Amino acid sequence: MKKMLTMLLALLLMTTTALGESSIPDEVTNLIPEGAVLLETDRDDGLMEYEFRDGDMFYEVVLREGQVIALKTHNAALKPAKENKLTEETAIAGLNGTVLYARAEKDDGRWLWKVIVQEEEGLAEYEMNAETGEVMETEMYFSAEIEMPPEGYRKLDLELEDGRLRWEKD
């Protein structure tokens, strides 16, 4: 039984690798570390999404009409902080571009800093540990520009809907 499970696992890994190598565009593989494992692909609303894992790091690359429009990363080893020890100045230090939004937020009793920056490559959203400043998640929307949200939109989250960025209401 153990041999059979080992053989099935090896076959699954070989199949995943073979499929992954032949079906993932260079535009995607150039953005993720070599050796990252393909977890899932999904086609939805004209978008093609590829999800990968490399240790504690998770990557999602989104394409529309063959062009990369978004890269999202998540470090599963990092969690929000028990208390907020950062100032806005320290939270945004080292980020390049124009800061559109920076705020400490409490999520399920834990603290994080959410920062949205208009960078040269596009629009970036960072979530950082509110004690250490370590980046837990990033979302980069290439060639994207966005105006500040209309009245009534207090919680600023960016959502990729139909390939467009939208502000989400609180």
Q: Considering just the CA atoms, what is the radius of gyration of the chain in Å?
A: 19
Q: Which of 137, 123, 143, 128 is nearest to 63 (CA)?
A: 143
CA angle 82, 113, 29 (to 5 degrees): 110
Q: Which of 38, 54, 57 is nearest to 138 (CA)?
A: 57
How is the beta sheet containing 122-129 ordered, strand by strand? 37-44, 47-54, 57-64, 67-75, 135-142, 122-129, 110-119, 98-107
Spatial separation of the C-alpha atoms in residues 122 and 118, rounded to whole Å: 6
Dump pLDDT digits (tens) for 10-61: 444 444 444 444 589 999 999 999 999 999 999 988 889 999 999 999 999 9
% of the chain beyond a pLDDT of 90: 54
Q: Which of 5-9, 38-42, 96-100, 120-124 is most confident?
A: 38-42
- Burial of 35 by CB count in 10 Å (0-12 exposed, 13-18 middle, 19+ buried)? exposed
Q: Could you tell me if 80 and 97 are in contact, meaning their C-beta atoms sit under 8 angstroms apart?
A: no
Dump pLDDT digits (tens) for 87-112: 999 999 989 999 988 999 998 899 99
pTM: 0.76
**Non-local CB neighbours of 150 within 8 Å, separated by 6+ positions:** 167
